[in-house]
């Protein structure tokens, strides 16, 4: 899947920002996300930069990627997954394996309650109740898609554990602000940000709203946000146009 390159420059919050994707090797459970960020981001890091890391990469290095062949869905998982609305941008809980992991993450009772409330909500024309009840851990469960980077096109990836702690540890190690983000082509959320940030989660999410890391085979799970003066932004725009 070939994806159109994103403009590295964006104006948000009345300021200009440069977003720099950073390519890495294919991260695995054998990697340490703090060491990976230090290795790949530090050489180009400047004072005032914000480092952002994908929640998926964070979770993978925590061993929270599970092979599809190792997941044995229960009957309820297979049954409920049939009623999940299919969308073009991801699997969500629309396959037995991802639904099974939702059961394991938060428990049978909570998933069943979420399903019941969701059905009632739809009768009144309301959507989103399932994930409101099931919680963020369930919403972050990621199934394989055609554009998922191998070998993770054969895995279910859960949300990261203790993202606030991870963001703080990275920030302390590299002496810069760090955010853990869940960004794709249809939505964005900053899950955690270190407490040395001058920007809010919402402001960082707005800067990343067009998903500058991409979600295909770019192999760029880390990025840098860099503040630019208007003159710098103009010069960079002119340079790229030449």
- pLDDT < 70 stretches in the chain: 1-5, 86-90, 185, 215-217, 241-242
Residue 159's pLDDT is 95
Residue 161's pLDDT is 97
**DSSP reduced 3-state for 189:** strand
Residue 88's pLDDT is 54
Instruction: List strand residue ranges (DSSP E) for the chain, in order.
Output: 9-12, 15-22, 50-54, 65-67, 155-157, 177-184, 187-193, 222-228
Residue 149's pLDDT is 87
Residue 57's pLDDT is 96
Each residue of 64-77: b (16+ CB within 10 Å) or e? bbbeeeebebeebb
Summarize pLDDT for 80-129 with one digit per residue, the tens: 999 887 655 567 899 999 999 999 999 999 999 999 999 999 999 998 89
Domains by residue range for the chain, with CATH: 9-57+162-241 (3.30.1330.100), 65-157 (no CATH)
Residue 145's pLDDT is 82
């Amino acid at each position: 899947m070939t994806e159109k390159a994103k403009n590295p420059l964006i104006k948000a919050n009345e300021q200009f920002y440069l977003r720099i994707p950073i390519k890495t090797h294919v991260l695995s459970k054998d990697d340490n996300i703090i060491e990976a960020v230090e290795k790949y981001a530090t050489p180009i890091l400047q004072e005032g930069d914000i480092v952002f890391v994908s929640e998926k990469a964070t979770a993978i290095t925590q061993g929270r990627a599970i092979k599809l062949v190792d997941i044995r869905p229960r009957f309820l998982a297979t049954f409920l997954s049939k009623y999940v609305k299919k969308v073009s941008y991801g699997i969500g809980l629309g396959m037995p394996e991802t639904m099974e992991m939702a059961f394991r993450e938060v428990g049978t009772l909570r998933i069943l309650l979420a399903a019941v409330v969701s059905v009632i909500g739809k009768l009144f024309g309301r959507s989103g109740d399932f994930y409101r009840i099931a919680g963020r851990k369930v919403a972050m469960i990621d199934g394989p898609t055609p554009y998922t980077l191998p070998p993770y096109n054969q895995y279910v990836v859960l949300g990261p554990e203790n993202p606030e702690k991870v963001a703080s540890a990275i920030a302390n190690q590299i002496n810069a602000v760090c955010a853990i983000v869940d960004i794709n082509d249809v939505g964005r959320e900053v899950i955690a940000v270190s407490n040395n940030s001058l920007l809010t989660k919402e402001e960082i999410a707005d800067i990343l709203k067009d998903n500058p890391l991409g979600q295909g085979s770019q192999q760029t799970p880390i990025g840098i946000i860099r503040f630019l003066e208007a003159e710098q932004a103009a010069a960079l725009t002119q340079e790229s146009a030449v």
